[in-house]
Amino acid sequence: MRVKAVVLFCGFLMGCSPTQPQTQKLEGMAQGTTYHITYWSNEAVDSQVIDAAIKTTFEDIDKNLSNYRPDSVIETFNANQSTKSQEVGSEIIGLVRLAQSVHQLSSGCFDLTVKPLFDLWGFKGEALTIPSTEALQQTLAQVGMNKIEIVDDSHLLKTQADVRVDLSAVGQGYTVGKVSEALEQHGITNYLVEIGGELKTNGHKPDGLAWRVAVEKPLPGERKIHKVVTMPKDAPMSVMASGTYRHYYEQNGQRYSHILDARTGKPVTHDLVAVTVLHENPAVADAWSTTLMCLGQQDGIKLANAEKINAIFIRQRGSEFLETHSEALNTATNLAIQ
């Protein structure tokens, strides 16, 4: 599950002026969450054409990646109890390739096949179900990135017929990227795209200043600013955050996070409560924020340093929050964090 990166619009962090080119704003519901898009251009732009292009982008992605519609490409693949090659298209293959890479680097912590475990623990409903050891082991037998194989640039197969692929760990970030591409295809190079708290910026505001976004403090039931990030004006940048402080159950004094470690089949229990990743590719940032959150502080920051990932780690010790930055973020020259 993902923790929202709080985006604050015109009037606070953006500081708009009526004498400058006016920003256009689009918002609505998609993929079970909200989206907000802010853009501007020195050239005349038909906002209705842009709105239609964005809605088409959402619809196309939904038809391919949604695990909530039985006729989507990925759900057709999941429902087919076969180990033969199936055509899924280049979009899904690209995301599986990304996931395979992160899966390997994370020693299996990140995995697109964990949906049966998520259901086993009752995380799709209102009540937690702590599984027996036997049930957990039986479900773990359905999980593993080694149970799916890429055949070619458009075909995927299962080596075990009951395996299910859930692309949500990269799908929302991927959607942010595709919506950004739709804007760029219409000549818009200055924008902020936010979907469910995951975002990407490019260019700058109409007054020439950088886009600035705020990431929230990891407090259950509250919305407070933790950090303000000044985004680069000369390059795209995405901000993706994952955490344990909004989606969890408590039972008999024990907190059970929605972040599952695919290696054990159990919710993570470490004191890392939030990870924010900044990367030019939103799908990559999405995958890494989930992965580092799964790994925890010690293993997570070690891997972030090795892979040169810009990341903010926040641990909780009682009422105190301890923040650590990856080496790449500490040396980044195109990002300012306050």
- CATH number of the domain bearing residue 138: 1.10.3980.10
Cβ-contact 248, 304 below 8 angstroms: no
Query: Which has the minimum average pLDDT: 163-177, 185-199, 228-242, 254-268?
Result: 254-268
Integer CA distances (angstroms), 33 to 26, 55, 113, 178, 195, in order:
14, 14, 23, 16, 7
| Two structure tokens written together for 235 | 């390059």
pLDDT of residue 237: 98
Which of residues 13 and 170 earns the better pLDDT score?
170
Using left for φ > 0, alpha for ψ between -120 and 50, and beta otherwise, residue 24 falls in beta
pTM: 0.92
For residue 113, the enclosing domain spans 72-167
Q: Is residue 106 part of a domain?
A: yes
Tokens of 34: 């909200």
Range of weakest confidence among 143-157, 233-247, 271-285: 233-247
User: In terms of DSSP H, where are the helices of 207-324?
Assistant: 282-295, 297-306
Report if residue 312 sits inside a domain. Answer: no
Asked if residue 222 belongs to a domain, the reply is: no
Within a domain: 292:
no
- Yes or no: say if 303 and 288 are a contact pair by the CB < 8 Å rule: no
Domain annotation covers residue 236: no
57-71: per-residue pLDDT in tens?
999 999 999 999 999
In the block, which residue shows the tokens 């057709």?
A: 76
Contact 72, 63 (CB under 8 A): yes
Tokens of 171: 């799908």
Strand-pair category, 266-267 with 260-261: antiparallel
Number of domains in the chain: 1
Would you say 202 and 176 are in contact if contact means Cβ atoms under 8 Å apart? Answer: no
| Spatial separation of the C-alpha atoms in residues 81 and 327, rounded to whole Å | 45
Residue 138 lies in a domain: yes
**Residue 147 lies inside a defined structural domain of this protein:** yes
